[in-house]
Chains A and B, each alone.
Chain A
Amino acid sequence: MTAETVQEKEVGRARARKEDARLVTGQTNWTDNIQLPGLVHIAFLRSPLAHARITRADTSRAREATGVIAVFTGADLAAEQGSLPCAWPVTPDIVIPQHPPMAVDTVRYAGEIVAAVVARDRYAAADALEAIDVDYEELPPVLDMEEALAEGSPKVHEQGNKSFVWPFSNGDIEAAFRDAPVVLERTYRQQRLIPSAMEPRAVVCAPVGDEFTLWSATQIPHVLRVMLALVTGIPEHKLRVIAPDVGGGFGSKLQVTAEEVLALLIARRLGRPVKWTESRSEGNLAVHHGRDQIQRIRVAAGADGRLRGLDVDLLADMGAYLMLVTPGVPLLGAFMYNAIYKMDAYSFRCTGVFTTKTPTDAYRGAGRPEATFAIERVMDDLAAELGMDPLALRERNWIKHTEFPYTTIAGLTYDSGNYEAATAAARELFHYDELRKEAAERAAAGDPVRLGIGISTFTEMCGLAPSRILGQLAYGAGGWEHASIRMLPTGKVEAVTGSSAHGQGHETAWSQIVADELGVPFEDVRVLHGDTFVAPKGMDTYGSRSLTVGGIAVVAACGKVREKARVIAAGLLEVSPDDLEWSSGRWQVRGDPDQGKTIGEIALATFAAHNLPEGVEPSLDSDATYDPDNFSFPHGTHLCAAEVDTETGAVRLRSYVAVDDVGQVVNPLIVEGQVHGGIAQGIAQALFEEAAYDSSGTLVTATLADYLVPSAADLPAFVTSRTATPSTTNPLGVKGVGEAGTIASTPAVVNAIVDALRPLGVPDVPMPCTPERVWRAIREGAAR
């Protein structure tokens, strides 16, 4: 190779995903596919009641049933099961109730585990569940957050129904509202959602002596290993956690679950491998839910639309217990209500409330979609109040591209952004002015099908997270990520990442990064992840952190390999390392580029180790742990046109334009996929999905026939584009894209519906905006 042959850069190429061949041809093992000699199956009996005392649990008939090996109740495991961990005690006085993996004397949500059957096959296990007799003494359910906080409410836990109050303020909020020409107050309901990953949760646990291997469909094998060791007392070095190929998570697998802990305890008790895989309806009950907040938001503005102050009072439903990061989810939103806007003062207060419902925790976006919804809805309403175009109102208030870096009223420093560019691009693709004209014409003509335009100029914080900030927020761990590079003798590369992919395409994107950093072909890189014995250090995958933290760790590890290779190349070429320059995978002599060694040649020489410089170890391998200095701040402008049939309330999304700025793009195909899926998931919240409970606390959307996850047939063709304002805080200039679409699209859709109906006297439609709700809102508007 000569210096003239410049390899095309891999970063930026739309590479088809390496992992897809095995995934789409069924040549992989999901957790449920794992077969081990002597494997037995667990089935869990779950409480049918929202709140009750267990007065008797008789397992004798189940123990006698065909194929049954063992039956456990909470009482059987009470001494060893510990309490499921909450790693985010957001205030010093937070109430963190005991959370036994299996209920011992009280159940606090329908779906809580009360017994486990272990049997030779899963049919026998399911049959035996019906032979367990549990007597309950019903207690009053606690289903409404406001009622839960009222005096005299039945208590979910002895300590009461309030977990914490977390306040934040900056600037003189009273002054901002005092004499403000315009003050708007709105209350929005973030309905409860159920994450619906393609692969249900599953766990397999195999004991060998006092050592254990646990396979789980998890996003967090590393965090899980630490937590399981702490909960069960099994020494960490005797516990190996493997996340094989995992079929999606959306935050639902960012968890230390009761089922994982119980599988481990039962495997230890029985001394044989066990497996549990949930059914979809079991998952709907027991996977942690998302959202579920009541947001009271007040905004003060000048007559010219300039924002003065923002005051947010939030009730966040924790459900019955605090799970891994439950209390922290609404706090991630605390920094996002001010969004891309400048203002004088901001005040935020969040109260965490216990109810007798399934616990909530992170769900795609985790706090940020909720915040973005509220501010973007209010901006549209404020524009209507002022008679301004809602884009013009936003432009009046947003941070200009010349003003970065900009420290917001919430205290974050946004490093970069260009809201003008993204909005201009979106406006043109959307044909904004033409659609505005058509909407006005339809309204003037009294057309029964109205047209509305919804706007969402969102930003978010990704790249969770600088460890020092997590520490300030009382999170129980850091936010770094780890990578290592193993140079094989033949010049091939194994890249080990602590970022545990569950559908994101790390194997492809990381290969592209390594190919550029080491000058090797894309095909020569193998990415290893998801097994704590193979990738021993990691903080795993959530919060759009993989590329912005884990990807940068890969860059750093590659840099160390290059520097080691430089020293060895210098030895081989008999020059000083300072005389070498790096060019396309090769160290070459400055001024004499024919003299050089490729990384492959250096790797082979290092393997032989015959002729290395004095004191140089025979290895190019390296590790890097990267802790980011700052979050990253992707942003974008999403525009939605919705047609509303005022006779039936039916909503049809006519067009949807998304212009996202995620900084530099490593793989445009992957980014496109994330944007499409994210938009779909946000639209799902706006129009379709809701976890509904009846008055006794029974989840009535326990199957996918009732919990409506939309398919492609329910969605418009998305028009997507990008602007690219690189992040200035990491060497790749990347920002993260895993959650952007979900954060952006929900308010864009609801804003479009309300925009269509505002002339009919409709100020708001609660989510999901089902046809009946839209129809009722129109009737109420007409009556107004």
Chain B
Amino acid sequence: MIPARFDYVRPGSVEDAVRALAGGGDDARVIAGGQSLLPLLRLRLAFPDLLVDVGGLSELRGVRETAGSLEIGALTTIYELTRDPLLTAHCGLLAETATLIADPAVRHRATIGGALAHADPAGDLPAVVLALGGSLLIRGPEGEREVRAGDFFTDYMTTSLSPGELLVAVRVPRLGGDWGFRYEKFRLTAQSWAIVGVAAVARRSNGHVAEARIGLTNMGSVPVRATAAESAAAGAEASAAALREAGSRADEGTSPPSDLRGSADYRRHLARVLTGRALAAAAGAS
């Protein structure tokens, strides 16, 4: 890697990290696992003056249980998400999706906080956290604040993080045993980005879907909820046919990109098909 010149600090505490970031202003960037930032540096598409390496802040690593929810430290690696017993038991969608991200080498370095703060709409975790109804814990010079996922992603690769703020944790609800889940990732090769991804969680009751939440990857400049399909799924019979019907509304209100991997109308089509499949799997429909 031959990046442009930058300064580098490795703070020993969250407070020091926040102080360093605040001092660096707009030209400071956080680096954790580096799996999104390093390629940008290597291609000289990013020119930060200062890298604040939070990799040593071990208090930001790991999953803990709080009342009704799980708090995932921002430095928890994607690999750890795949193995964490709390996530596996209470937030399977996150654990399952993590197995589908990139390749093992990347999964061992990349972090959940980095993936969310990077806010690439083609990344898988933003849509998953959105579908889960999660929120993000942010530490800044003014203290800590909590932002709902729907408010965090503001534009293409842009979040509501201000200069000087550090994403420290992700809070997701514990899902009970009546919830099912599925992440449908559609991609060209095993290690390439999703053309479209559909994250679905559904609560099943008496052979019907009582409630469903759906997050879409790469269907706009930010991860989006498929609200029309969610409404259509609510109360629908938990059958493949009924949920396929609900899925056919998944692209309503989206504005997907056209690029090398797929045109906008193909993405719309995929979102409809994959949402039907994801809902069926989440609802345990045959």
Contact = CB atoms under 8 A, between A and B. Distances in A.
Given A281-B43, A648-B270, A772-B266, A126 B2 contact: yes
Given A127-B5, A647-B273, A688 B189 contact: yes
Contacts of A647: 273
In this complex, which of A648, A701, A776 has the most chain B Cβ atoms within 10 angstroms of its Cβ?
A: A648
Contact of B189 (A123, A281, A703, A711): A711
Contact of B273 (A123, A648, A706, A710): A648
Contacts of B62: none
Contacts, number: 53
A207 to B, nearest CB: 25
A771 B2 contact: no
Interface string A269-301: 000000000010100000000000000000000
A770 B260 CA distance: 11
B8 interface: no
B189 A714 contact: yes
A705 B187 CA distance: 12
B122 to A, nearest CB: 10
A713 B191 contact: yes
Given A281-B43, A703-B43, A772-B263, A708 B273 contact: no
Interface string A708-723: 1111011000000000
A771 B189 contact: no
B157 interface: no
Question: How would you classify the secondary structure of chain A's contact residues: helix, strand, loop or mixed?
Answer: loop
A775 interface: yes
Contacts of B188: 688, 708, 770-771
Interface string B1-35: 01011000000000000000000000000000000
A732 to B, nearest CB: 39
Interface in B241-273: 260, 262-263, 266, 269-270, 273
Interface in B131-174: none
Contacts of A776: 266
B183 interface: no
B181 interface: no
A692 B261 CA distance: 11
B286 to A, nearest CB: 16
Contacts of A175: none
A700 interface: yes
Contacts of B4: 127, 130
Question: How would you classify the secondary structure of chain B's contact residues: helix, strand, loop or mixed?
Answer: loop
B192 interface: yes
A711 B192 contact: no
Given A122-B2, A127-B4, A647-B273, A772 B262 contact: yes
A229 interface: no
Nearest to A776: B266
Interface in A85-134: 122-123, 126-127, 130
B260 A692 contact: yes
Contacts of A703: 39, 43
A78 B253 CA distance: 58
Contacts of A700: 260
Nearest to B269: A775
Given A122-B2, A127-B4, A701 B189 contact: no
Contacts of B2: 122-123, 126, 279
Nearest to B43: A281
A650 interface: yes
In this complex, which of B2, B5, B44, B186 has the most chain A Cβ atoms within 10 angstroms of its Cβ?
A: B2
B273 A705 contact: no
B186 A708 contact: no
Contacts of B262: 771-772
B190 interface: yes
Contacts of A708: 188-189, 192
Nearest to B196: A648
B79 interface: no
Interface in B171-203: 186, 188-193, 195
A20 B39 CA distance: 30
A701 B260 contact: yes
A48 B132 CA distance: 44
Nearest to B274: A648
A688 B190 CA distance: 11
A700 B5 CA distance: 26
Contacts of A650: 186
A703 B260 CA distance: 13
B273 A713 contact: no
Interface string B59-89: 0000000000000000000000000000000
A706 B266 CA distance: 18
Contacts of A692: 260
A627 B5 CA distance: 55
Interface in B39-54: 39, 42-44
Nearest to B193: A705
Interface string B74-118: 000000000000000000000000000001000000000000000
A717 B79 CA distance: 26
Contacts of B193: 705
Nearest to A692: B260
Interface in A686-701: 688, 692, 700-701
Contact of A713 (B39, B186, B190, B269): B190
Nearest to A701: B260
Contact of B192 (A127, A279, A705): A705
Contacts of B190: 711, 713-714
A207 B64 CA distance: 63
A122 B2 CA distance: 7
A703 B262 CA distance: 17
B189 A648 contact: no
Nearest to A779: B269
B89 to A, nearest CB: 28
B277 to A, nearest CB: 9
B260 A711 contact: no
A709 to B, nearest CB: 8
A281 B1 CA distance: 12
A775 B192 CA distance: 19
Interface string A178-213: 000000000000000000000000000000000000
A133 B273 CA distance: 50
Contacts of B191: 711, 713
A47 B266 CA distance: 34
A557 B37 CA distance: 56
Contacts of B266: 772, 775-776
A542 B273 CA distance: 47
A647 B269 CA distance: 9
A710 B260 contact: no
A121 B191 CA distance: 33
A131 B188 CA distance: 38
B41 to A, nearest CB: 12
A124 to B, nearest CB: 10
Nearest to B4: A127
A126 B5 CA distance: 11
26 contacts: A123-B2, A123-B5, A126-B44, A127-B5, A130-B4, A279-B2, A648-B273, A648-B274, A650-B186, A688-B188, A688-B189, A692-B260, A700-B260, A703-B39, A705-B192, A705-B193, A708-B188, A711-B189, A711-B190, A713-B190, A714-B190, A771-B195, A772-B262, A772-B266, A775-B266, A775-B269
Interface of B: 2, 4-5, 39, 42-44, 103, 186, 188-193, 195, 260, 262-263, 266, 269-270, 273-274
Going nearest first, the 7 A-B pairs with the smallest beta carbon separation are A713-B190, A126-B2, A772-B266, A714-B189, A708-B189, A647-B273, A772-B262
Given A772-B262, A775-B266, A776-B266, 19 more contacts: A122-B2, A130-B4, A648-B273, A648-B274, A688-B189, A692-B260, A700-B260, A705-B192, A706-B260, A709-B189, A710-B189, A711-B190, A711-B191, A713-B191, A714-B189, A771-B186, A771-B188, A772-B266, A775-B269
Interface of A: 122-123, 126-127, 130, 279, 281, 647-648, 650, 688, 692, 700-701, 703, 705-706, 708-711, 713-714, 770-772, 775-776
